[in-house]
């Protein structure tokens, strides 16, 4: 969490990034709040969900450009969320985060169309680069 707080202060962008909504799904309240604060400090509009099912329910309302999801969550895992989004909303880029990653989990995420797979704790600099790449086509 300290790394995320430190990264918030390194470079805060002015104003909101138009049309760039991020839906963040994580069942850990500290991770959810810390990551939300970081993304908002970078200028993104962020909506949150406590599990994959809640995130999926918000997609038609939020219209996210990117979904950032933890893997291990109740009701619907991040990989299950990824699979549904890959088939039903293929234009949404999904970044998968996990503290419990295995080669199999990484392979499944890639096979299901994850834009990126990042380990926890989050490296804020790497997340910023990956998120920028995911949103590159959204600014037209």
pTM for the whole structure: 0.86
Q: Phi/psi of residue 84, each to 5°? A: -65, -45
Topology at the third CATH level for domain 2-133:
Rossmann fold (3.40.50)
- Rounded to whole angstroms, the Cα distance separating 106 from 112 reads 10
Residue identified by tokens 């299901």 is 112
* 8 Å CB contact between 47 and 23: yes
**Averaged pLDDT for residues 45-64:** 97
Residue range 84-138, pLDDT digits in tens: 999 999 999 999 999 888 899 999 999 999 999 999 999 999 999 999 999 985 5
pLDDT at 9: 43
By residue count, the chain amounts to 140
CB-based contacts of 19: which residues, under 8 Å, 6+ apart? 65, 138
User: 20 to each of 92, 100, 107, 114, 140, how far by Cα in Å?
Assistant: 11, 28, 28, 18, 12
């Amino acid at each position: 969490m300290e790394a995320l707080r430190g990264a918030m202060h390194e470079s805060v962008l002015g104003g909101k990034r138009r049309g760039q909504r991020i839906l963040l799904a994580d069942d850990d309240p500290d991770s959810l709040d810390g990551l939300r604060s970081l993304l908002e400090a970078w200028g993104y509009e962020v909506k949150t969900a406590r599990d994959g099912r809640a995130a999926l329910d918000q997609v038609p309302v939020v219209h996210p450009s990117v979904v950032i999801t933890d893997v291990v969550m109740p009701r619907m895992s991040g990989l299950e969320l990824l699979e549904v989004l890959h088939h039903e909303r293929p234009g949404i880029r999904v970044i998968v985060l996990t503290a419990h990653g295995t080669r199999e989990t990484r392979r499944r995420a890639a096979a299901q169309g994850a834009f990126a797979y990042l380990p926890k704790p989050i490296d804020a600099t790497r997340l910023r680069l990956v998120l920028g790449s995911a949103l590159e086509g959204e600014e037209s």
